[in-house]
Structure 1
């Protein structure tokens, strides 16, 4: 079996076309390059270069071998880069803004996996319906259900949020005309899920409002009314069940946004990959 280091020296010589060029790039003496080529020729039983006074042109066999090993340098660079990235310890604090339902039911339960892989990495999770101002440092990474319009941001669609109407088993036995409803306060009437709720209820009353989705869910569990929830929340609540509706619920895209400079940070990049994995592992949030 040939020595891979001998083969690597040959690929550099084949590209530079001279002992001196190869020696400069490899940062060794001319004689070292020569010895490596001699050893490779001996092992392979081939004459790879013509030994002229001022150059080392490849023979036919040398050119054939050079074509086979043309990607070897790129592979070596990729391996070195992988080694350097692996040696960079991922640590520090990364702030993530996300909608509350996503933060509580999808991201937080999987933080232990991230901690096990990167014990020095600290994620600060900021559940909020408000759009975090990344340019003001309110967060490093933002998950949003509205497409970011800031031109300087790197944005990527990573999933979807689906909705349904839920109530208790007892509540579902009531005549639909007697249903009451739970929703956000009027400040959230612009939300597609709130608009869908108004469309469903028509003249029927909203009897409880809250800016907090968990409060709405808890009220629904005690039979206060029907509530619109993300399916990742409602379908996993054993005390609630889907209620029949006569219109299609809204679907909202999930966008991940970050500034380019921050994306180059190993810690931010690691958390971004973790967030994508969280979304992809949750059946209700996959595209």
Structure 2
């Protein structure tokens, strides 16, 4: 087949890419905001257009054929080019009104971003904000978000990052639960406490043992990766948890003797998007207000 004469349709290639990366028509359709029949027709039309079978269909499973595997890197390169085009267009405008997508951890999204967004919308009511509260790191390079608050420095050269003043966390519990533990005069006294774990890994036990608190498997009766659920469990007296200092001091009771836990805060965006006036305004306001809200600015 002479591919120089193919009238290429990017929407069909995008349907192929989403299907290949998600592994199913239904998941790809959800990702692209299409119905499954529509997406299936786009993939079938691409196969007919190219004269190639891109997927082997066995029941509900889709497996890339050798031809599909060979074309997948090309489709990804096209997607990257489309995103670069979109980023460049965003950087060429001085328009303020429009949408900004900010991603942050569940805790930051719930406690730190609301006063920042409130001020942003008072100053610039035309800026529409979407907040993605997720403890997983969104891919800024692929435009899953415009601006991110992270606790690790990104290593992608396509991203720009500004380190903000360090935050800090401490261990907290409800007043009743801490009182139920009896006098806490030595770190060893905390070995009888229950702690709220993130998951089944050993990070929290190692941290506590480093502080001098002996723990066993029974020390961690509850685990959740959702920080807001952990916050509610802690407030309900079900255990001790680690939270950022300003919020913990306002709403919970600080556990005696345990030291502060410092952690870095990074403000991140794609380097092309830094040229957008709307994003610069949002970036600058977050950079200015986060230090005022952080533990490092307010802890004793």
Structure 2: runs of 5 or more not aligned: 1-93, 183-189
Deviation by residue 1:34-89 (Cα, 9 ceiling, x = unmatched): xxxxxxxxxxxxxxxxxxxxxxxxxxxxxxxxxxxxxxxxxxxxxxxxxxxxxx54
Q: For residues 148 and 195 of structure 1, what CA distance do their matches in structure 2 show?
A: 26
Partner of 1:151: 157
Residues 1:195 and 1:127: Cα distance change in structure 2 (over 3 Å): farther
Q: Find the counterpart in structure 2 of residue 97 from structure 1.
A: 103
Equivalent position SS for 1:154: strand
Q: CA deviation at 1:97?
A: 1.0
Give the SS at the match of 1:235. Answer: helix
Q: TM-score, normalised by structure 1?
A: 0.62
Are the equivalent residues in 1 in contact too, given 2:116–2:285 (CA < 8 A)? Answer: no
Instruction: Tell me how far 1:283 sits from its aligned partner.
Output: 4.5
Cα distance in 2 for residues equivalent to 1:92 and 1:112: 16
Q: Is the partner of 1:158 in helix, strand or coil?
A: strand
User: Measured at CA, do residues 225 and 153 of structure 1 come closer, stay the same or move farther in structure 2, by a change above 3 Å?
Assistant: same
Distance 1:230 1:253, change over 3 A: same
Seen in structure 2, the aligned counterparts of structure 1 residues 195 and 163 have a Cα distance that, compared at 3 Å, is: farther
Q: Count matched residues.
A: 195
Question: Which residue in the other structure is 1:234 paired with?
Answer: 248
Aligned counterpart for 1:202 among listed residues 215, 219, 222: 215
Structure 1 residues 283 and 185, CA gap change in structure 2 (3 angstroms): closer
Dislocated runs of 4+, deviation >6 Å: none
Query: Counterparts of 1:189-268 in structure 2 under 5 Å?
Result: 195-197=206-208, 199=210, 200=213, 202-203=215-216, 205-237=219-251, 240-246=252-258, 248-268=259-279
The unaligned stretches of length 5 or more in structure 1 are: 1-87
User: What are the residue-to-residue correspondences of 1:60-209 with 2, within 5 Å?
Assistant: 88-173=94-179, 174-175=181-182, 176-186=190-200, 195-197=206-208, 199=210, 200=213, 202-203=215-216, 205-209=219-223
Deviations 1:113-165 (A, max 9, x none): 11111111011111111111111111111111011111221111012221111
Tell me, in whole angstroms, the C-alpha distance in 2 between the residues paired with 1:195 and 1:263. Answer: 40
| TM-score calculated relative to the size of structure 2 | 0.59
Q: Secondary structure at the match of 1:236?
A: helix
Mapped pair 1:279 → 2:293: no
Preserved CA contact (<8 Å) 2:194 2:221: yes
SS at match of 2:221: strand
Change in Cα spacing, 1:91 to 1:228, as seen in structure 2 (3 Å) is same
TM-aligned CA distance change 1:152 to 1:227, over 3 Å? same
* Deviation per residue, 1:203-230 (Å, 9 max, x gap): 2511111111111111111111111111
Q: Report the secondary structure of 2:156's partner residue.
A: coil
